A and B are shown apart, each in its own frame.
Chain A
Amino acid sequence: SQKIEQNSEALNIQEGKTATLTCNYTNYSPAYLQWYRQDPGRGPVFLLLIRENEKEKRKERLKVTFDTTLKQSLFHITASQPADSATYLCALKLNDYKLSFGAGTTVTVRA
């Protein structure tokens, strides 16, 4: 069966350090992968999309990589700040209608 797995444990890091989150998938061949941010009690917000023919994508302090051979995406937050504390979700499109989400990884950045 198709499956999406993210870091199961919460990530606690010191301000200024780089947070690295993983998203692994099985039995998919997605054309692209998306990352969302979710704050407590709020809806997810789209951050970045990376296509299968792109190795890396950047947006400000965020960097996403996509390795279709390993079936893995890495999400990096560089120079992290307490305001980056949130849950981050990866999402893959299975077919024309369904965007499947991982359970998310919670990041806490300590000042």
Chain B
Amino acid sequence: DADVTQTPRNRITKTGKRIMLECSQTKGHDRMYWYRQDPGLGLRLIYYSFDVKDINKGEISDGYSVSRQAQAKFSLSLESAIPNQTALYFCATSDSQGTGTDTQYFGPGTRLTVL
């Protein structure tokens, strides 16, 4: 079984709809992240969480919110989806107690299309 899973894998929605993307991990890592990837722009950090009680904005958090329901679960919500939020979304984890390098372990991604 995959260590980092994301649901759904693909989603098509309409402008104005609220949508939630979910991420679960079995790696036992304390840190979790949400990124979006757009062609030519690389990965951009939306939100990150260092533990269940710690949530922080990344570089492009406007229009998004997150919830860390448990150490293993981190969900991303789009409150009112707009077309420029069409992108590939990745969840990632890292272990602060490991090598100290925050090597990231990514999920398979969610392809979101907002019409």
Give B48's nearest chain A residue, CB to CB.
Answer: A97
Instruction: Give the Cβ gap from B45 to chain A, nearest Cβ, in Å.
Output: 6
Of the candidates A32, A36, A98, the one whose C-beta lies within 8 Å of that of B101 is A32
Chain B residues with CB under 8 Å of chain A are 4, 40-43, 45, 48, 50, 56, 58-59, 88, 90, 92, 99, 101-109, 111
By DSSP majority rule, is chain A's interface helix, strand, loop, or mixed?
Answer: strand
Instruction: Give the Cβ gap from A19 to chain B, nearest Cβ, in Å.
Output: 20
- Indicate whether A45 reaches chain B with its CB closer than 8 angstroms: yes
A side interface size, CB within 8 A: 20
Give B96's nearest chain A residue, CB to CB.
Answer: A96
Please report which residues of chain A, range 74-95, place their CB below 8 angstroms from some CB of chain B when the two chains form the complex: 89, 91, 93
Q: Decide: A93 near B41, CB < 8 A? Known: A43-B92, A43-B109.
A: no
Provide the residues of chain B in CB contact with A11, threshold 8 Å: none
